[in-house]
Amino acid sequence: MITKEANHLYPNTVQVTFALSSTIWSVSIHMVGDVNGWSPTATPLRLDGNAWSVTLTLDINGSYQFRYLINGTDWINESRANASVPAKNGGAYSVVVTHLECSNRALGMHNVVLPLLHTRQRAA
């Protein structure tokens, strides 16, 4: 799961938390992607309670490809990523986009873009 929050200390950035369920049995999980030069060890997730997670500060309005590396051998994607793109060697990369979406949780609208509608009154 990915969550994004405005970063009030650095206005042109977003706090992005990458999290996986603790039900994934693993000794180590790393987030590998554009943000760390595709280093398999630079960004470890930490196990805390019910989740493996890491929070990164990323530039706002960016797009970042990534995957998770389990125990240094198995790759998995983020099922709730904003998008996915074909990987160079087959498979796919997950993509996180770092703009803060407007959403109305009370109406159940998430990541929805609504067009601006112009209306005209009919002449009587």
Give the domain CATH number at 85.
2.60.40.10
Instruction: Give domain status of residue 115, yes or no.
Output: no
Instruction: Give domain status of residue 113, yes or no.
Output: no
| Structural domain containing residue 60 | 2-107
Instruction: Tell me the C-alpha to C-alpha distance, in Å, between residue 117 and each of 14, 105, 112, 120.
Output: 30, 22, 15, 10
pLDDT, tens digit, 9 for 90 and up, residues 5-36? 998 898 899 999 999 999 898 999 999 999 99
Instruction: Give domain status of residue 51, yes or no.
Output: yes
Instruction: Give domain status of residue 89, yes or no.
Output: yes
Rounded Cα gap, residues 50 and 14, in angstroms: 23
In sequence order, the 6+-apart residues with CB closer than 8 A to the CB of 91 are 75, 77
Domain count, the chain: 1
pLDDT, tens digit, 9 for 90 and up, residues 38-91? 999 999 999 998 899 999 999 999 999 999 999 999 999 999 999 999 998 888
Instruction: Give domain status of residue 117, yes or no.
Output: no
